[in-house]
Structure 1
Amino acid sequence: MTVARRSVGEWLSSLPTLFILLTVIFLSSGQIIHSQLLKIGENTWDEYFLLRGAGMVSEPTCNPDPDINQRVREIVEQRKAEAANDPLGDILGGSSVDPDAIRGSLEASRENCRNKWDRFKIVEEKVTPAVIMFRNIEGGVAKVVSTLGDYKRLLLCLLVMICAITATLARHHISLRPSRTKKDHVVTTTAQLIANAALLMSATVYRAEEVEAIASGVTVSNFYLHQFWIAGFALLTAASIYQLIRPPKDLETGGSWPKAFLTIPLYSFMSLTAAAQFASQGYYHGISVYLNMMMELSTLFLNLALYIWIGMLLKQTKLAHLVFDILRPWKMSPELMCFVVLAVAAIPTAYTGASGIFVIAAGATIYQELIRVGARKQLALAATAMSGSMGVVLRPCLLVVIIAALNKSVTTAELFSSGYKIFFLSLFLFFIYSQFARTSPARIAPFTEALPKSLKRMVPLMPYAIIVGAILVLFSDVLGRQLDEFSAPIILPVMMIGILFYEKLSRHLLHLFTLFLVPMVVMSFMGIWEGYQALTSGQVPVGVSAAELEDILWAEFWRNIFLTAFMVIHYLVKTGDQDPHYQPEAGVSEKLEGSLRMATNETTGHIGALLMLMALSVSTGGIIERSGLLEMLPEVFPSIWVAMGILVATMVIIGMIMDPYGAVILVNATIAQVAFNNGIDPLHFWMITLVAFELGYLTPPVALNHLLTRQVVGDDEVESAKLSTGSFFRRYEKFLLPIATMLTALLIVSFLPLVSDGLHEWLFQKIQSGG
């Protein structure tokens, strides 16, 4: 059934999801825009902060020229009369009146009144229609942003519910194996129905509990959200009933009941476990209570949804293919190619939230390209899964931002500084293990042969560099916002949409980006010259030191040099037709509207699958927290070595069974303080936690990145990679190679710094300015 050539599902799920995502971008960018509007107003009109009140501030009612002497006499007489009528006046000293004090008070009031009149007259004299028009725009932006900002919890609630229902109807929830047979369908749908009903019951009981609390005089915030949760879980339950009544027509016959239980979505397992555990404690609304904890971090989880959208937009572009075009002339051996792929993939992984989104976006391309260079299927699957986890410690990974938001003992700057060192350690370990595991000699083409071809194939990337550079300059020079872990969810979608406009709509749009970039670079060079003159004359602006100003000028100088080089190479260097004419991929459109629509459709399903998993991970954390298991850990261990060993084992187990975002909340609430009590430095502890979570991404029983790899590569392709002969390592290489790499990294990061104070200080350096 379609309406205006769009399915009903797109109208009811993808369109609302797109609206919510755009609203989140507007909220974040709106704050930046409003800040810049205030700066523009102050630079354009003197005392704009006074002028912006024109028409909204009433005329003062006080008298700016009162008769001070007359008022003094009146007040003195009044107070003497009051003292005469007061029988205790003489005792309390009320009969004495100080005319000088009264005069001083009246003169101060007169001065204050005159200041009010002066400000009012200034506003009335200087205000112009232009000021009023600008004030209305600036005030309107501020009002809309502040109003919508109060409803971020509602936006997240609606996003979770819409996308979860979509994922249910599309059979897109994450499970250990896909549902294929009729037996699979009966088991997985029944489990989802019971799990969703448990969520509905929990939300209903929670609302009743808060109604009683309100009746007893307790203040309850965001009470209105209960109606949305109840309605959402009711619709989710109805979707499961519909799936059970109307099974898909493509289901196979056969199958086995034991294997069918592996098709139950992970969130359903967590929901059923949490519901049973909380019910045994009489805590029937426990899931909803912990779900409400997720709402406290609504901004971060909305940003995660934006990262998912970014990943799906990336999938619609040719960027992954163009990067592999640069690597092909080197004719690297499979193991060496995997090493390079992991190094390159870590950056987009960090920029897509390190939640496996990059695997969904580019996993199929990575796997196919590795197979093309001769990689074993097991090795290709291992590298594809690892491509979504290596960037978890790099800027601007959202997981690191959540850790810094929950724990004030570390900053994002410190975590990312240590993260870069640990990333290179992990990458080096993968290189060593992969070389020991290789089945053919290592090879690479001669530099004289490969380098010219590789450089030539970098030219098609220049338009993308120009688009990205223009958008970065727009945000940094016009809107005053640099690309960092806080602004990435806003800036990256704009970049992806700009690239899609260039690829799918018209390549002539690149000229518009260039026309914007050229004058901005010229003005930037002029600003650098002015800053250099200020630096040499010693007239450094207030609020910045000479060293900081010099660093800023050099960074901007090299930025401009690179941007200029990109434009010159694109417009002057001709390399001929290098387009390998890629075959259209499934789920990738050749048109702009189709790309945006397909990206949003995929985003909706992935948001529903991942956010439901994360939401129930928080409840699973609640079970562990309330079980008292972690409280059984002693506050102080006999030695720091024993403490480290037990804490590392505990976090690895948590990382293996929980989503990292939910696990971070649990670890921060329970294990972190135990580590600190035993003398483990907070920065050291959180880096261990991140590496343990990287290991958890890749280790059964959940192995989230392997599940996502199976989803994008295809179940049949993964099954074809299984080996019945050969060594144990060869048969399970897709699991063992990543585990060996990350486990070794975890042991090194955990224990070696305890041996050497110098190594500890180098790895986990505190950044004073960040503190």
Structure 2
Amino acid sequence: MDKPTFTVANRSIKEWVSSLPTLIILLLTIFLSSGEIIHSQLLKIGENTWESYFLLRGAGMVQQPTCNPDPNIDQLTRETVRKRQQESADDPLADVLGTSEVNEDAIRQSLERSRENCRTRWERFQTIEERVTPGVIAFRTVEGGVAKIVSTLGDYKRLLLCLLVLICAATATLGRHHIALRPQRTVKDYLVSTTAQLIANALLLSSAFVYRMEEVAAMESGVRVGHFYLHQFWIAGFAILTASSLYQLIRRPRDLESGGSWGKALLTIPLYTFMALTASAQFLSQGYYHGIAVYLGMMMEMSTLFLNLALYIWIGMMLKQTKLAHLVFDVLRPWKMSPELMAFVVLAVAAIPTAYTGASGIFVIAAGATIYNELIRAGARKQLALAATAMSGSMGVVLRPCLLVVIIAALNKSVTTAELFNSGIKIFILSLVLFFIYSQFARTSPARIAPFSEALPHSLKRLIPLLPYGIVVGTVLVFFSDVLNRHLDEFSAPIILPVMLLAVLFYEKLSRHFLHLFALALIPMLAMSFMDTWNGYQALQSGEIPTGWTTVTLQNHLWGLFWRNVILGGFIVVHYLVAPRMKGNGDTDPHYAPEEGVSEKLEGSLRFSTNETTTHIGALLMLMALSVSTGGIIERSGLMEMLPEAFSSIWIAMTILVVTMVVIGMIMDPYGAVILVNATIAQVAFNNGIDPLHFWMITLVAFELGYLTPPVALNHLLTRQVVGDDEVESAKLHSGSFFRRYEKFLLPIAVMLTALLAVSYLPLMSEGLHQWLFHKIQVAM
């Protein structure tokens, strides 16, 4: 890594102008996401501390009532009756309209109700004045401040996403880190790629400028325009991107090779640039000059989800700074598995962190180098190692709490996340079994695994270094669950996981003694949880089920708490009582070799992870932003309208839809593709009798296939990025069968294509299989 030539306070200019703002935006996003949780807990604390806190919190904000709490009702009634009679006498139409009669009883009742309302306001005011204390005022100030900050900043999520995209995109542009089919090596590569980026960024700037002019004209004609202020930021941001590309074109790097091919140079153009050029050409031909800017605005409508994706990228980069991946491989190493079997186990284990990092290839960036090196260490051929590394970033797309599934559920009401994840686990198992079968047919050496009696004891001993991580992670989970009443799921993962990774880095990089603080915090929380579990058990035995619970749900909840507490308590006991006796045993010493870009210090780890996050956010979010525009081209082209609303056979409909989904998955980022599919193809599927849950599971599997299939093959591109271009080139074979030469592509394609065909067609043949795979979950009201 090149050392910056100019620094301020030991930080490069890049860190001050890109990484620091990115970190601030990410922290603001976490605060906004957790703000409602924090505020609700503050209200609960206030209510538990001061009776009727909801009333007392109005101290200083409720004005003294001006009404009379004890008026003379008889006198007011007579005056009102007299006034109404006079008004009727003066009205020539009173007799015609039937308003000449004055109802004295109704007037008296109305005045009495007004008196009661007035007395209530006075009682409320006097209660606040009598019971309010300086403590209430101080707490109310904090609680109200949190509520105001959250509500105010919550209105600017679009601005946060806009700034994040533009800052990170400029960083990726200047660092030459945008995703392309080939890296830039030669002078021709650089000239072609940079020139294309300059043209694309200039077109983006023009689109944003024209869109602002259109909005100004709309406002002058009386049309109300929302979030107009964003135009200035888009224009300024695209101007910076254009200037960055022009600067790069003028100042050529010194490390470029001479020569090169113009044809290969085209492959170095970033994918977002291809999309920008294609979309601009299409929109210009239609006279829709501001088309790209319009679709970028559509992306802003889902600002929360894309900000969460940025958090997932940060989570993945912090995960890269930890030793967790190495420790997990240390547990597997004693089994001495054959390469194919090791790849199978790696995919099974990697699916979980893949789902927890957004299933967007972030896990490949975070742990891909470790996975590849460990598979090579286990004896895997390079083609197999590359295939497994690429697949490690896609297998978890159907598992909880994958962000892609959350987006699908957010876009339409026909399916829920619970239903998608319930079907997803079954399809994940199917894909995993298929990989095992195909890999065994493709193996070049006999399958092997160490005897259980030999491997199991060593593997269990190597679990001991993972116990501290279990304690740290468990403390964070229990704190959020029991103190903040927020469980880890697809909605809270972007909030909880960054805190969890920060806690792990504090333990691992700053001081191992932090573990004692986590254990001290965890023990009382577990003790309180055991007491709550016992109280719940007593309620279950007595039949006094709390409101909102049923016998079954309460029983399941108590069992879940019991086993959670037993496991976490076991971690503490084993770590502090058993592990010290095993000190010096080589089985507990993890194999770990520091990697490039991984710091042994907390400050360095946070710097590296944030710097990498900034670059990857710029590369991925620009790709996703232009994917939305590419979807707009397809949507406006009328191709989808060419599909008939109803086909003669559901089999024909399924075939056409499957082919269409695979093609979209091959050329588009999955997040942009989901938006397009939901707007165009989904209704065609529903009209032809394809169940919504069935359709969306087909979509997810098709996108998994798209991650791994050329011409884009995003996960292979990310694998090349982390493994190294030279290493990928060295894996190429010039002899052997076609399958051996292209195994890194063909093995993943064979697995996912078979899974896609099975998921698409087998449920149509069996109603029982369809109901089992795509079970609708009824939610009790």
> Which TM bucket (shorter chain)?
over 0.9
Work out the CA distance in 1 between the residues paired with 2:675 and 2:101: 66
Work out the CA distance in 2 between the residues paired with 1:627 and 1:646: 18
User: 8 Å contact 2:640–2:680 — kept in the other structure?
Assistant: yes
Match of 1:364 among 362, 366, 369: 369
Work out the CA distance in 1 between the residues paired with 2:81 and 2:356: 73
Cα-to-partner distance string for 1:373-395 (whole Å, 9 max, x where unaligned): 10000000000000000000000
What is the Cα deviation at residue 93 of structure 1?
3.4
What is the Cα deviation at residue 178 of structure 1?
0.1
Work out the CA distance in 1 between the residues paired with 2:780 and 2:396: 22
Match of 1:129 among 130, 134, 139: 134
Aligned to 2:777: 767
What is the Cα deviation at residue 579 of structure 1?
2.9
Work out the CA distance in 2 between the residues paired with 1:477 and 1:490: 16
Aligned to 2:605: 595
User: 8 Å contact 2:414–2:692 — kept in the other structure?
Assistant: yes
1:158-197 equivalence runs, <5 A:
158-197=163-202
User: 8 Å contact 2:399–2:424 — kept in the other structure?
Assistant: yes
Match of 1:616 among 626, 634, 641: 626
User: 8 Å contact 2:365–2:718 — kept in the other structure?
Assistant: yes
Q: For structure 1, which runs of at least 5 residues remain unmatched after alignment?
A: none
Work out the CA distance in 1 between the residues paired with 2:106 and 2:161: 59
| 2:705 matches 1:712 | no
| 2:648 matches 1:641 | no
User: 8 Å contact 2:330–2:591 — kept in the other structure?
Assistant: no
Aligned to 2:462: 457
What is the Cα deviation at residue 757 of structure 1?
0.1
1:23-422 equivalence runs, <5 A:
23-422=28-427
Work out the CA distance in 2 between the residues paired with 1:85 and 1:494: 74
| 2:734 matches 1:727 | no
Cα-to-partner distance string for 1:529-574 (whole Å, 9 max, x where unaligned): 1111111111111111121111111110110000000101111113
What is the Cα deviation at residue 94 of structure 1?
3.3
Deviates most, 72-81 or 192-201:
72-81
Match of 1:483 among 483, 488, 503: 488
Aligned to 2:21: 16
Paired letter, 1:108 = R
Q: For structure 2, which runs of at least 5 residues remain unmatched after alignment?
A: 1-5
Cα pair distance change 1:350/1:111, threshold 3 Å:
same
Cα-to-partner distance string for 1:738-760 (whole Å, 9 max, x where unaligned): 00000000000000000000000
Aligned to 1:672: 682
SS in 1 for 2:513: helix
SS in 1 for 2:118: helix
Paired letter, 2:140 = R
User: 8 Å contact 1:329–1:453 — kept in the other structure?
Assistant: yes
Aligned to 1:586: 596
What is the Cα deviation at residue 671 of structure 1?
0.2
SS in 1 for 2:212: helix
Work out the CA distance in 1 between the residues paired with 2:578 and 2:290: 65
Cα-to-partner distance string for 1:465-522 (whole Å, 9 max, x where unaligned): 0000000011011111000001001100111110111111000000000000001101
SS in 2 for 1:410: coil
Deviates most, 87-96 or 661-670:
87-96
Paired letter, 1:418 = S
What is the Cα deviation at residue 79 of structure 1?
1.7
Work out the CA distance in 2 between the residues paired with 1:70 and 1:186: 93
Work out the CA distance in 2 between the residues paired with 1:255 and 1:271: 25
Paired letter, 1:596 = L
Cα pair distance change 1:629/1:640, threshold 3 Å:
same
What is the Cα deviation at residue 92 of structure 1?
3.0
Aligned to 2:522: 517
What is the Cα deviation at residue 770 of structure 1?
7.8
| 2:433 matches 1:428 | yes
When normalised by structure 2's length, the TM-score is 0.98
Paired letter, 1:343 = A
Cα-to-partner distance string for 1:660-698 (whole Å, 9 max, x where unaligned): 000000000000000000000000000000000000000
Cα pair distance change 1:89/1:583, threshold 3 Å:
closer
Work out the CA distance in 2 between the residues paired with 1:445 and 1:3: 55
Aligned to 2:583: 576
Aligned to 2:3: none
What is the Cα deviation at residue 89 of structure 1?
2.8
What is the Cα deviation at residue 582 of structure 1?
2.6
Work out the CA distance in 2 between the residues paired with 1:258 and 1:89: 91
Cα-to-partner distance string for 1:707-726 (whole Å, 9 max, x where unaligned): 00000000000000000000
User: 8 Å contact 2:462–2:589 — kept in the other structure?
Assistant: no
Work out the CA distance in 2 between the residues paired with 1:268 and 1:571: 55
What is the Cα deviation at residue 583 of structure 1?
2.7
Work out the CA distance in 2 between the residues paired with 1:393 and 1:434: 22
User: 8 Å contact 1:413–1:770 — kept in the other structure?
Assistant: no
What is the Cα deviation at residue 120 of structure 1?
1.3
Match of 2:692 among 670, 682, 689: 682
User: 8 Å contact 1:358–1:388 — kept in the other structure?
Assistant: yes
What is the Cα deviation at residue 407 of structure 1?
1.1
User: 8 Å contact 2:327–2:590 — kept in the other structure?
Assistant: no
What is the Cα deviation at residue 83 of structure 1?
2.0
User: 8 Å contact 2:383–2:731 — kept in the other structure?
Assistant: yes
Work out the CA distance in 2 between the residues paired with 1:411 and 1:564: 34
SS in 2 for 1:172: coil
What is the Cα deviation at residue 158 of structure 1?
0.2
| 2:544 matches 1:534 | no
Match of 2:706 among 691, 696, 700: 696
SS in 2 for 1:263: coil
SS in 2 for 1:190: helix
Paired letter, 1:719 = E
What is the Cα deviation at residue 581 of structure 1?
5.6
Aligned to 2:563: 558
User: 8 Å contact 2:327–2:591 — kept in the other structure?
Assistant: no
User: 8 Å contact 1:156–1:301 — kept in the other structure?
Assistant: yes
Work out the CA distance in 1 between the residues paired with 2:97 and 2:429: 79
User: 8 Å contact 1:205–1:284 — kept in the other structure?
Assistant: yes
Work out the CA distance in 1 between the residues paired with 2:654 and 2:92: 77
Paired letter, 1:532 = Y
What is the Cα deviation at residue 98 of structure 1?
2.0
Work out the CA distance in 1 between the residues paired with 2:717 and 2:100: 88
Match of 1:750 among 721, 746, 760: 760
What is the Cα deviation at residue 117 of structure 1?
1.1
Cα-to-partner distance string for 1:568-607 (whole Å, 9 max, x where unaligned): 1111113324334633211000100000000000000000
Paired letter, 1:576 = K
Cα-to-partner distance string for 1:89-118 (whole Å, 9 max, x where unaligned): 333333322221111111111111111111
What is the RMSD of the two structures over their aligned residues, measured on CA atoms? 0.9
What is the Cα deviation at residue 85 of structure 1?
2.1
SS in 2 for 1:573: helix
Cα pair distance change 1:464/1:770, threshold 3 Å:
farther
What is the Cα deviation at residue 30 of structure 1?
1.6
SS in 1 for 2:629: helix
SS in 2 for 1:486: coil
Aligned to 2:617: 607
Cα-to-partner distance string for 1:629-652 (whole Å, 9 max, x where unaligned): 111000000100000000000000
User: 8 Å contact 1:470–1:516 — kept in the other structure?
Assistant: yes
User: 8 Å contact 1:184–1:255 — kept in the other structure?
Assistant: yes
Work out the CA distance in 1 between the residues paired with 2:589 and 2:302: 44
